[in-house]
Structure 1
Amino acid sequence: KPRVEGHRRVAVTLARDVDVETARAKARRAAAAMQVSLDPL
């Protein structure tokens, strides 16, 4: 879409581990390592 009104999710991180809290921590670390850049139209 060339135009977005409101909020838009641009990325999702997923992780697996032996328990939910550890998997969530892994997913948060992965999300923190991502860099998002937008190209002007």
Structure 2
Amino acid sequence: MPAAVGSGAFWTGILDYISGYPLPEVLAQIEAAAVDAYGK
């Protein structure tokens, strides 16, 4: 897993979720980072 996803978007997403952001929004942000990182 690229660092932009694993230590970037994933952990940011976990903290956002714990802070009250809706899960679908958090997952969409993580998925968008993964798409950018993997270039697909």
TM-score, normalised relative to structure 2: 0.49
Larger radius of gyration between Structure 1 and Structure 2 = 1
- Which gives a bigger RCO, structure 1 or 2 (Cα 8 Å, sep 6+)? 2
